[in-house]
Structure 1
Amino acid sequence: MKEDKIWLSPPHMGGTELKYIHNAFDTNWISPYGSNIDEFEKGLENYLGNNSFVTALSSGTAAIHLALQLLNVEEGDFVICQSFTFVATANPILYLKAIPVFVDSEESTWNLCPNAVEDAVKYCLKQGKKPKAIIAVSLYGMPFMVDEIVEVSKKYDIPIVEDSAEALGSRYKGQLCGTFGDFSIISFNGNKIITTSGGGILISRKESQKGRAAYLSGHAKEDKDYYSHSELGYNYKMSNISAGIGRGQLEVLEERIKQRRENHDFYHHLLKEFEDIELFCEPDESFFSNYWLNTIIIKGEFLSKERIRAIFFESNIETRYLWKPMHLQDLYKDYKFIGNNTCGILFDKGLCLPSGSGLTDDCKNRIAEMIYNLKS
C-alpha cells in the first residue's frame, strides 16, 4: 500500500477562515461585494505599506491584464516580459493584442537580466516604438534585481509591472515585494504561500488607480440608477467568500513564511554533500525569499531531472519541472527573444521539490530517504 502523497505546495489552512466565511453567509454577502473584501484589501494595504492601494480580483492574471490596461497598452504596443515564468505573466499582453518581447534571465536570481532588458528596449526603439511596460517577475519567491531593473526603467521612462505572484513576504533590501512596480500583482491561487482558493490582487501606487481598477473589474458599470456602460469592462472581482478565506490566511502569513524558509534550511542541510545538485538560494543579504518553492539544478551527468523525478514518483512524492520559458512555448515561439538562453538551460536542468508549509517531519524523512537513494 502506497504512503500518502506528498504534494508540491498544497493549501494550508490557518483555522480562522471559516469564521469569515460564516460571516459572509450570515450577512448574505456571497457576491463580489461585502466586508470581507474591504477588510482583506485593508489588511494587505497595511501589510505592504509604501503607498499600496489594493484591489482584490479573481486572479493574478486578471491583475496583470488590468495593470497593462491602466498603462494604456494597446494593439501593436511592445511589452517587455520575462521569458522564464508561468504563461499567465505573458498572456495578458496578447489579450490586448500587444506584442511581447521576451527577455532572458540572469543566473543569480533567475529573473530579468538587466543587460538583456536594455537590449530589448533598444530593439523596440529601432522598430520605432518605445515599450509600454516591463513585466518583472520574482520567480519562486526570489526578488528580481530591483536596483538594476528600476535603473533601466527610469533611464527610458518605462513603467514596471511587478509580477510578485509567488513572492508575498519576500523582500529586497528590507522592502517587500509588491511595492517596487508602478503596478504590482500577487496571486492567491491554491498553491501559493497563502490562498483565497483562487484570486489575486492588483497593487496601485495611487488611490485613483485603485478606483479605476475596481471600476474596470466590475464590468465598467457607471454610478447610475440603471445599468450604464460606456467602455469595456471585465468580470474580475473577487468574491466575498474568497476574501473571507484570505482574511484568515493573512493572519498566518508570517508563520507560513517561517515554515517555508525552514523547508529551505532542511534542503540546504540535506543537499550540501551533493556536488551534482545545487539548491537555489538567495544571492546575498539584500535578498530575502519566502522560498515559496525550493528548486534545484542538476549539474552532473549521472543524475538527471527525469531520473530524480521518477524516483520520487515511485514513492508518491510530487516534484515538478521548472517553468518552461515562454520563448520555447509553441504559443510564443515566433516572438522576439533577447538573451543567451540562460533560462532554457535552467529549464533543462531544474526541478521543484515539495515545499508546502505543512511539510511534516515524517514527510521530510521520506524525502531525505529518496535523496540519499540518489547516491546508489
Structure 2
Amino acid sequence: MTAAPVRRRGRILLSSPDVGGREQELVAEAIASGWIAPLGPMVDAFEQRIAERCGRAHAVALSSGTAALHLALLELGARPGRAVIVPTMTFIATANAVVYTGAEPVFVDCDPETGILSPALLEEALAALQAEGTTVAAVVPVDLLGRCADYPVLDGICARYGVPVVSDAAEALGSSWRGRPAGSSGVMAALSFNGNKIMTTSGGGMLLTDDAATAQRIRYLSTQARQPAVHYEHTEVGYNYRLSNVLAALGLAQLERLDEMIGRRRALREHYAALVDGVPGVRVFQREGDAGDNCWLTALLVDPAEAGWSVDDLRGALDLADIESRPLWNPMHRQPVFTGARGHLDGSADRLFATGLTLPSGSSLSADQVDDVLETMGAFLEQRR
C-alpha cells in the first residue's frame, strides 16, 4: 500500500484568488487618484474592456453577479404571479435572484453529459407553463463550471414561446461556444468576479447588453434610482449595486492576465485527465468538447459500481491530506429552502451530484501544491487499483 504524500504547506483550496504585482499597482493608482468612492475612471475603463472581451455594446459594473441577474429579471418584468425558468444544476444565486423579484423559480434538469440546461425539458416546461396561463418572464441558462450553454438551440426554443433569455455566465468569462464568447448571448448576461472565479474584483459582477437604453436603466436602478435633481429625489425603489473604482482597478489588472490564468487552469485539467486515463469508471466531467471552456473548475465523475470506490472515498482521502474538494452543485430542487418548488426533472442533476467531485483548479496553485494534489490522488488510485 502506497502512503499519501506529506503535506508541505497549508490547506490547498479549490480556487483561490490569483493576484500579484500588477493588481497592487493599479489599486494603488486608483487610491492615489482620489477616486475611492463608487464610480470613477477605473470603472469606466473596466466596463469598456469587459464589453469588448464579451462582444457586447454595453457593460455595467455591479457589486455582484447576483445583482446583475436581479436587475436583468426586474427589467424583463419578473414579479409575483410570473415564473422564471432556471436550471436545477446551478449555484443558488441563480434561483435567489428570481425570488428577489417575487417571481416563481421553476427548475429544469440538465443534460447528463454537460450539466447544462436540457433543451427537451426546457421546451416541456415552457409548454406546460403556457398551457396553464402562467407568464414566463425569462429563461436563465447557466454556463456551468466554464462550459457555455448551446444558446442557438436554447434561443430557438425560447423564441417560439416569446420568452427572453438571460445568460448566467457567472462561471464562464473567457470561455466561448461556436465562436461566440461567454456573455454575448441573451438579451442580457451576468458575470461574476467573486473571489473564487476565473478572475476577481474581490466581490463584483457585470451586466452585459447590446441595448443602450437598458444599460442606462440598469445604471439608474443600481445607484439607488436617484433622479437628476440637486437634492436627493427618488420616484421608485433602487438598489446600492454599483462596483467601486478601487475594485474596478483590481479587475482591470486581472483582465490583463485572464488568458494566462485560463491557460494554467487548462494545464491542470490536462494533468487530471492524464492521471485518471484508463481508470475504470472515472472520467473528467465536460472533457469532451472543452476546447472553448475556461476550465474554471475541473471535476471528476465516478461510477462506483465500475470503479470500486466513490467520490466520497476520494474526497475523504484528499481531506486527510488537507486538500479541498467538493461535490458538484447540490441541485436546487433538493435545497430545503425550495421544498415544494415546481420542476421538470429526469434525475440527471441528482446523478451528477452523487457522482461528481470538483478538484483544486486555481491558477494560483504553486508547482509544489499541484504535485501534492496529483501525488495524493495517485496514491489513492494505486491503493484502489
Alignment TM-score > 0.5, same fold: yes
Residue of structure 2 in register with 1:274 after alignment:
279
Question: 1:247 & 1:20 partners in 2: Cα distance?
Answer: 8
Give the alignment's Cα RMSD to 1 decimal. Answer: 1.4
In structure 2, which of residues 187, 204, 226 is the aligned counterpart of residue 199 of structure 1? Answer: 204
Q: Give the 5 Å matches for 1:6-21.
A: 6-21=12-27
CA contact (8 A) 2:273 2:283 kept: no
SS of the residue aligned with 1:274? coil
Residue of structure 1 in register with 2:312 after alignment:
306
Question: 2:375 & 2:271 partners in 1: Cα distance?
Answer: 13
Residue of structure 1 in register with 2:100 after alignment:
95
Query: Residue 66 of structure 2 aligns to which amino acid in structure 1?
Result: T
Question: 2:117 & 2:288 partners in 1: Cα distance?
Answer: 14
Query: Residue 136 of structure 2 aligns to which amino acid in structure 1?
Result: P
In structure 2, which of residues 317, 322, 341 is the aligned counterpart of residue 316 of structure 1? Answer: 322
Question: 1:174 & 1:307 partners in 2: Cα distance?
Answer: 39
* Alpha-carbon shift at residue 14 of structure 1 (Å): 4.2
CA offsets 1:277-300 (integer angstroms, 9 cap, x no match): 111134437x61111000111112
Is 1:39 equivalent to 2:45 in the alignment?
Answer: yes
CA contact (8 A) 1:295 1:351 kept: yes
Is 1:134 equivalent to 2:136 in the alignment?
Answer: no
In structure 1, which of residues 163, 171, 176 is the aligned counterpart of residue 168 of structure 2? Answer: 163
CA contact (8 A) 2:81 2:134 kept: no
Range 15-24 or range 306-315, more displaced: 15-24
Residue of structure 2 in register with 1:188 after alignment:
193
Question: 1:278 & 1:172 partners in 2: Cα distance?
Answer: 22
Residue of structure 1 in register with 2:292 after alignment:
288
Is 1:119 equivalent to 2:146 in the alignment?
Answer: no
From the superposition, tell whether residues 155 and 332 of structure 1 become closer, same or farther in structure 2 (CA, over 3 Å).
same
Question: 2:57 & 2:163 partners in 1: Cα distance?
Answer: 20
How many pairs align? 374
From the superposition, tell whether residues 317 and 169 of structure 1 become closer, same or farther in structure 2 (CA, over 3 Å).
same
Range 276-285 or range 140-149, more displaced: 276-285
Question: 1:168 & 1:223 partners in 2: Cα distance?
Answer: 34
Q: Give the 5 Å matches for 1:353-372.
A: 353-372=359-378
From the superposition, tell whether residues 370 and 276 of structure 1 become closer, same or farther in structure 2 (CA, over 3 Å).
farther
Query: Residue 159 of structure 1 aligns to which amino acid in structure 2?
Result: P
* Alpha-carbon shift at residue 32 of structure 1 (Å): 0.8
Question: 1:240 & 1:76 partners in 2: Cα distance?
Answer: 38
Is 1:327 equivalent to 2:333 in the alignment?
Answer: yes
Query: Residue 339 of structure 1 aligns to which amino acid in structure 2?
Result: L
Is 1:350 equivalent to 2:356 in the alignment?
Answer: yes
* Alpha-carbon shift at residue 339 of structure 1 (Å): 2.1
SS of the residue aligned with 1:191? coil
CA offsets 1:245-268 (integer angstroms, 9 cap, x no match): 001111101111111111111111
What stretches of structure 1 of length at least 5 have no aligned partner?
none
Is 1:61 equivalent to 2:61 in the alignment?
Answer: no
Residue of structure 1 in register with 2:225 after alignment:
220
SS of the residue aligned with 1:288? coil
CA contact (8 A) 2:54 2:183 kept: yes
In structure 2, which of residues 78, 81, 92 is the aligned counterpart of residue 76 of structure 1? Answer: 81
SS of the residue aligned with 2:13? coil
Question: 1:121 & 1:179 partners in 2: Cα distance?
Answer: 23
Alignment TM-score, normalising by the size of structure 1: 0.96
What stretches of structure 2 of length at least 5 have no aligned partner?
1-5
CA contact (8 A) 1:146 1:180 kept: yes
Is 1:106 equivalent to 2:120 in the alignment?
Answer: no
SS of the residue aligned with 1:132? strand
From the superposition, tell whether residues 271 and 282 of structure 1 become closer, same or farther in structure 2 (CA, over 3 Å).
closer
Alignment TM-score, normalising by the size of structure 2: 0.94
